Amino acid sequence: MFFIMGINQGMKELSYNAALFICDRCGRYGRYQVCMTYTYLSLFFIPIFKWGKRYYAKTSCCGTVYELPQETGRRLARGEDVTLTPEMLTMVSAGSAAAAWRPAKRCANCGYETTEDFEYCPKCGQRF
């Protein structure tokens, strides 16, 4: 008789009723995506014990990652309606505003720039 045991890292995305906000890092609209990371012990590939839960919020605009207080994270994990406020957030990794910009299309005719997926320039009708 032998045991197959393992210690693994897991991640779970939590549903968060995300409202749009204006990001103070990149100045654009973003939403928070909330996830939980944890360490777990598995026995025969079945997770039996989880610990070290940490909760993070990531902005969809520029990918800045914030750590959330345990209490806030636990409430989110229970599906409670929590509004994230800047005081709750501890930044762990700054996103890059530049990296988040989708390459803008630029109209060769009138110079109009857009990040939308237009086939034709909405201003002058020139094909992109």
Contact set with Zn ion (CB under 5 A): 23, 25-26, 30, 59, 61-62, 107, 109-110, 112, 121, 123-124, 126
| Cα–Cα distance, 11 to 113 (Å, whole number) | 38
Query: How many other CB atoms are there within 10 angstroms of residue 100's CB atom?
Result: 18
Cα 86 to chain centroid, rounded: 15
- Work out how close the CB of 83 gets to Zn ion at its nearest, in angstroms, rounded to a whole number: 18
- Work out how close the CB of 99 gets to Zn ion at its nearest, in angstroms, rounded to a whole number: 10
Q: Which is nearer to Zn ion, 63 or 73 (CB)?
A: 63
For 107, residues 6+ apart whose C-beta sits below 8 A from its C-beta are 113, 121, 123, 124, 126, 128
- Work out how close the CB of 54 gets to Zn ion at its nearest, in angstroms, rounded to a whole number: 21
Q: Which is nearer to Zn ion, 5 or 110 (CB)?
A: 110
Q: Which is nearer to Zn ion, 39 or 60 (CB)?
A: 60
